[in-house]
A and B are shown apart, each in its own frame.
Chain A
Amino acid sequence: MQKKSEIKKSLLVSLWFMFLTFPIMVIRVNPVEKLVEWRWRNMVIVGVGSFVLSFVWRYMLRQKEAGLKRIYAGGRYKIPSIQRVSEDRRLFIPLLAVLSVFVVIFPFIFSAYQVNIMTTALMYVVLGLGLNIVVGLAGLLDLGYVAFYAVGAYTYGLLNHHFGLGFWAVLPAGAFMGALFGILLGFPVLRLRGDYLAIVTLGFGEIIRLVLENWNDLSFGPSGIANIDRPSFFGMQLSLQSATVYIYFLMITLALFTVFVVNRLQNSRIGRAWIALREDEIACQAMGIDKTKTKLSAFALGATWAGMMGVFFAAKTTFINPASFTFLESAIILSIVVLGGMGSIAGVIIGAFVLILLPEYLRAFSDYRMLMFGAILVIMMVFRPQGIISNVRRTYKFEGINVPGEKNK
């Protein structure tokens, strides 16, 4: 009986989606040649697909509800395996050793193409970690994060083009410019409510892109800036092949540096204030935390990484134009943070690798990349708002006394 009604439900869902997708998926018109193409196969795919998915959907919803009930009933949060691994030194150290060996030999056993992809993934790790400070820790939804990335990239592009300044000189300048823009943009908007803040940052991001596109005297407009110098190696310019490897190792260093700094920030007085701000703004202020200053520091520190990565991006690709800094880029970085688990460093790293490498390696996916990102945002919010890795944030544990039940916490 139960089964019958479930099947009936799914049949209805499947019929509904076949109806819903009919004009867009089935018919394709060519208005110029006055041709209509009927793709009935798509209708079958949608019908079968939505039939199956509707079961999965309902099953997952039930799972989620059951999980919530368990928490309400006073059950403890389960600690995910990643945290167990990272806490158990016997497992963690060998794992780390294997990983570092792999990282070091990677550029020598794989092609330059692969190395490039890996470098890109690492860039997104840093961007994700930066945005994670703003969104994950401080709870400020910033949809214009890519603006700071653009600021960094153009800082290097322009300084290099006009004054011939090198990568190393501009890297700190880019980080500084990111932070500066973070403060400039952040200052007027930070008293806004959460969802308005999101839209205003989106607006700012678009304004910066549109200005770059139209202010030809400053930015060379849509054609962008070409022939930007790659990072030099102690004053020497490298061949393309060795530059790729060099940039890869540079990126590894930068990523490690970011993880180190962000980790320390997160586990500090300031990091705590960010999290408290995310949890309850009014209580946070009542406990003596300066709301504006704390928000601004999160905004600026998040933007710093974007500025730095902007410089790196310009140096890596040697060419920049406004088209690289659209809202979709912000959305990709946001997907990384959301998928990984807001507020979790390990989560963001895994999120970046999954979202950047998967479409690269599974060619079949690459067309569906943005479709997938959109779906991920929805699915994660509906079923697992805490991300793949939840609660990995190291909480301050008091270890002075024996707390009963500490072991299985």
Chain B
Amino acid sequence: MKAVMEIKKLTVDFGGLRAVDHLDLEVKEREILALIGPNGAGKTTLFNCITGIYAPSEGSMSISPPGKKPGTINGLKPNIVTRKGITRTFQNIRLFPNMTVLENVMIGRHCRTRARIAGAVFRGRATVREEQATVEYSYHILEKTGIAQYVNEFAGNLPYGAQRLLEIARALATEPFILLLDEPAAGMNPQETGVLDDLISKIREEEKIAILLIEHDMRLVMSISDRIAVMDYGKKIAEGTPEEIRNNPVVIKAYLGEEFVA
């Protein structure tokens, strides 16, 4: 399968600290690639770098979205990266708490719609139609993610699990070809994790997009990932199918320490 994103020799420095160290990573079309590793391994930093929140010190990130021209995303602003089709969720939920669930998702549609100030004031036919389409599209996504019953609630009032799902819904509304999920199962109970598991597989099937996933819940990771990449101290120390990773001595060492390696 063809790669939709290629990261080469990516390095991120914070002062003297090297958070990501010459990392190579390839995301293939329609795959679920899990990124695992101990806390502080540089996984979220990698996400921040891909989405343009941090600038890399070295290395390149190039994308080849299906049906569009390939290009680089080095040094682009976060909103441009999103517009190019890479979107994310946040580890510590960052919804818009005083907006309704529907409005949260509608914000995701912002970069795919175009009404301007004049359109907003005069409210011409095109603007009205676009607004209507935005509402319908957003509601459709809420149905797909299974939180449509909360449509008119304020996002801040949602139960925790639903907030995590709303983050995914909002990200999907930007029509990405790569979705970055930062610990989507954190703080969820087993039942909610099960729902999430189904949802992620469903998104891959229906939306035909690639998913890059940071997660600590190994059962979830092992069950849905096509491939797993393992990071430790900013470096990629292993990559392979779940089966390969499970038996990789380097990975076991990173997680459990020297003495557990058989």
Contact = CB atoms under 8 A, between A and B. Distances in A.
- On whether the two chains bind one another, the answer is yes
A268 B117 CA distance: 9
B119 A288 contact: no
B102 A396 contact: yes
A172 to B, nearest CB: 15
B121 A261 contact: yes
Contacts of B225: none
B83 A288 contact: yes
A268 B78 contact: no
A interface bracket (residues with beta carbon within 8 Å of B): 35 or more
Contacts of A198: none
Given A265-B121, A282-B94, A403-B151, A398 B135 contact: yes
Given A264-B120, A282-B53, A395 B157 contact: no
B202 interface: no
A271 B120 contact: yes
Contacts of A290: 77, 79
Interface stretch (B59-67, B108-116, B241-249, B254-262): B108-116
A41 interface: no
A280 interface: yes
Q: Interface size bucket, B side? A: 35 or more
A268 B119 CA distance: 9
B117 A275 contact: no
Contact of B98 (A270, A279, A282, A403): A279
A276 B100 contact: no
B88 interface: yes
A58 to B, nearest CB: 28
Interface string A244-261: 000000000000000001
Nearest to B112: A288
A276 B96 contact: yes
B87 A396 contact: no
Contacts of B94: 280, 282-283, 286
Contacts of A291: 79
A397 B82 CA distance: 26
Contact of B103 (A286, A396, A400): A396
A146 B171 CA distance: 39
A269 B135 contact: no
A272 interface: yes
Interface in B100-136: 100, 102-103, 106-108, 110-113, 115-117, 119-121, 123, 127, 130-131, 134-135
B190 to A, nearest CB: 22
B154 A77 contact: yes
Interface string B66-107: 000000000001110011000110100011111110110011
B79 A289 contact: yes
Contacts, number: 129
A155 interface: no
A43 interface: no
A403 B149 contact: yes
B79 A288 contact: yes
Contact of B157 (A74, A283, A403): A74
B57 interface: no
Nearest to A270: B120
A400 B79 CA distance: 31
Contact of B106 (A272, A279, A284, A288): A272
Interface of B is mostly: helix
A297 interface: yes
A264 B115 CA distance: 12
B151 A288 contact: no
A273 interface: yes
B96 A280 contact: yes
B99 A395 contact: yes
A326 B20 CA distance: 51
A283 B78 CA distance: 10
A143 interface: no
Given A288-B79, A290-B79, A291-B79, A396 B100 contact: yes
A269 B99 contact: no
B120 A287 contact: no
A287 B131 CA distance: 17
Contacts of A273: 107, 110
Interface in A60-90: 74, 76-77
Nearest to B171: A287
A398 to B, nearest CB: 5
Contacts of B113: 269
Contact of A289 (B107, B119, B134): B107
B139 interface: yes
Contacts of B28: none
Nearest to A76: B157
A406 B111 contact: no
B115 A287 contact: no
Contact of A272 (B51, B83, B87, B103): B103
Nearest to B159: A74
B133 to A, nearest CB: 11
A279 B97 contact: yes
20 contacts: A264-B121, A268-B115, A268-B120, A270-B116, A272-B106, A272-B107, A279-B97, A280-B96, A282-B53, A282-B94, A283-B95, A284-B107, A285-B82, A286-B78, A287-B111, A288-B87, A289-B107, A397-B102, A398-B135, A403-B151
Given A272-B107, A275-B96, A403-B151, 10 more contacts: A265-B121, A272-B99, A275-B98, A283-B90, A287-B87, A287-B111, A287-B171, A288-B79, A395-B99, A404-B149
